[in-house]
Structure 1
Amino acid sequence: MTDKTKILIVEDDMIIAANISLQLTNLGYEITGIVCRGEDAILHVQENKPDILLLDIHLKGKLDGIETAKLIQSKNELSLIYLTANSDDATFSIARETHPMAFISKPLNLLELKRAIELVEAQVRKHKQEKEHRDPEIEFMDDRIFVRQNGKRIKLLLKFILYIEAERNYCNVVTEEKSYLLSSTLKSISEQLPTSLFIRVHRSYVINISRLDVVAESHIEIKRKVIPVSKTYREVLLKRIKTI
């Protein structure tokens, strides 16, 4: 990687965390921060966008490491490495559902941690290269998009798209007739859609403003689908409605 790999350390033992930070910095990695609570980790990831989350499974506080990982993964795409002093089979089974790249046992072995991070970097590079070389899943044109489904290119006129819903690192593009699941983030799709027709109303929803049926205090409806509206986007939505 040409840029430094950015790592967030989430560890409630600050002596251990500081030692990890020092050693990884000496190896050339960028430490975006050290936090000791899951709640702080969630906020930090949103603001600093690390590449790797180095996360203790047994955190103190309301959120343990696994719960923290699930909440972060619901909104962000990053690689996960767990730190654990001891993990029973039940905990390991639950942790595995978050698809970590590695489990590193405490006390930490620097060589083992370094190799785990290098494997993550290699996996990320491979995924990026594969993504760049395969046919694009979605192509944008002035009044339409083409989506790839089952080896075919399907034309969708923008005016017939009702809304787009985020599902972790996937998106559902919903029309009156059917929906199309794409392995793209809501952010990447919404940035290429015309703002004259599409508007974000929630972290998980972009809507076709011309297809609005109902506007309520905290939600809207399109074809009887109830879609939440965040306070962040409500004022912009109301202004746009007045211009239709």
Structure 2
Amino acid sequence: MKSLKIYIVEDEPIIVSTIETSLKKHGFSVLGDSDDALTALKDIELLHPDLVLVDIQLSGTKDGVDLAILLDEMKQPYLFLSSQTDPDTIKRVKQTNPLGYIVKPFTETGLQTNIELAWHNYQTQHSDILEFKSEGRLHRVNQNQVLYLKAFDNYCYIQTTTKTYLVPHTLKHTSEKLNQNLFIKCHRSYMVNINHIDSIGSNKLLLKTESIPISASQKSIVMSKLKGR
């Protein structure tokens, strides 16, 4: 699996250090940590982690469940990591949508296994949904509706069947989220959905609504993939 970018929300410095050491040992990337919900929220919006580990007992007026409600609104994947298993806490947790609940104390192997299984299940369920931010809003688009992606300096355009979005990430970064069975690079500046290709010209791919360039070096690769469908 890819090196997950993880953010830790935990109010015990020793536990933060233990988690961080364990995560890095198993190839995960730790983007940062905080001990309160408000700081965590600001960091998460800035850093865009793949996954957030959330303790329930935090510093400040808001606890981990309050944070989880906000993460649900942001469509941000997270796991609870807590020693609290009392009925009242569990009742509140049931109102949220975590990928899982890891009970403290945990083992290094248990932490790794829970994260990998939770992320695998999340990826399986969301494999055909592309999530991205455009103009300050989070969008979730079925990848079947995406025609192509086009590079634009450090940004890229996502062209769907109905709308064009400008995304504040490079083509390379955004394409990592795509279903690789659906999309293929046809030009250094383009990724195309092969299900929308009608025909291949000498230097263009003809889609149902428009055409995009295809480089000579990628032409045979695209044709081979189309034949394999």
TM range (shorter): 0.5 to 0.7
Q: Residue 62 of structure 1 aligns with which residue?
A: 61
State whether structure 2 residue 92 is matched by structure 1 residue 100: no
Amino acid at match of 1:99: N
CA contact (8 A) 1:45 1:72 kept: no
1:199-228 alpha-carbon deviations (Å, 9 max, x no partner) = xxxxxxxxxxxxxxxxxxxxxxxxxxxxxx
Q: Does 1:88 align with 2:86?
A: yes
Q: Distance in 1 between matches of 2:87 and 2:147?
A: 45
Match of 1:136? 144
In the other structure, the counterpart of 2:51 is 52
Tell me if structure 1 keeps the 8 A contact 2:72–2:97.
no
Paired AA for residue 22 in structure 1: T
Q: Partners in 1 of 2:70 and 2:8 — Cα distance?
A: 16
> Which has the higher mean CA deviation after the structures are superposed, 84-93 or 18-27?
84-93
Q: How big is the alpha-carbon RMSD for the aligned residues of Structure 1 and Structure 2?
A: 2.6
Deviations 1:85-119 (A, max 9, x none): 12211211211221111111112222221111111
Q: Structure 1 unaligned runs (5+)? A: 148-188, 193-244
SS in 2 for 1:33: strand
Alignment partners' CA distance in 2, 1:120 and 1:29: 14
- Of all paired residues, the percent bearing the same amino acid is 26
| Distance in structure 1 (CA, Å) of the matches to 2:15 and 2:65 | 19
CA contact (8 A) 1:11 1:36 kept: yes
Counterpart AA for 2:107: N
Decide whether aligned partners of structure 1 residues 136 and 34 sit closer, same or farther in structure 2, where only a CA change above 3 A counts. same
CA shift in 2, pair 1:124/1:61, >3 Å: same
Alignment of 1:191 with 2:165, yes or no, is: yes
Aligned partner of 1:27 in structure 2 is 26
Task: Give unpaired runs (5+ residues) of structure 2.
Answer: 131-141, 149-159, 167-229
1:128 to 1:103, Cα distance in 2 relative to 1, 3 A = closer
Q: Secondary structure in 2 aligned to 1:99?
A: coil
Distance in 1 (alpha carbons) for counterparts of 2:63 and 2:105: 19
TM-score where L is the length of structure 1 = 0.53
